[in-house]
Amino acid sequence: MYHYASTCQKDPASRSHSRGEDRLSQKVIRKDLNERRGRLTTEDGIRHDLVARVRREIAAGTYDTPEKLAIALERMFS
């Protein structure tokens, strides 16, 4: 049985931080980006404001439009 060493090089950031710190910094960066975009996400990544808006549109019957259907069909058959 042969064992080959990894030939992948790690980036400088992965060498300087432990995994826990790296995950924490990724969460902070993701939260900051979402706040800058004006989107509020929870820890599970769900944009509750978007979900609520889509549910309202579905209930009102305004979510599905002929334009959206045409785009979906075009994408499906191309």
CB 14 within 8 A of CB 8: no
Q: Can you tell me which residue has the tokens 């978007």? A: 50
Tell me if 2 is assigned to some domain.
no
- On whether both 40 and 62 belong to a single domain, the answer is no
Specify the pLDDT at position 75: 95
Distance from C-alpha of 27 to C-alpha of 48, rounded to nearest angstrom: 18
Specify the pLDDT at position 1: 57
Split into its structural domains, the chain has a count of 2
Specify the pLDDT at position 34: 67
- On whether both 55 and 75 belong to a single domain, the answer is yes
Distance from C-alpha of 20 to C-alpha of 17, rounded to nearest angstrom: 8
Specify the pLDDT at position 32: 74
Strand, helix or coil at 71?
helix
Digit-coded pLDDT (tens) for 14-31: 555 555 667 777 777 777
Residues of the chain with pLDDT under 70: 1-21, 34, 36-42
- On whether both 42 and 52 belong to a single domain, the answer is no
Tell me if 1 is assigned to some domain.
no
Q: Which domain holds residue 61?
A: 47-78
Tell me if 65 is assigned to some domain.
yes
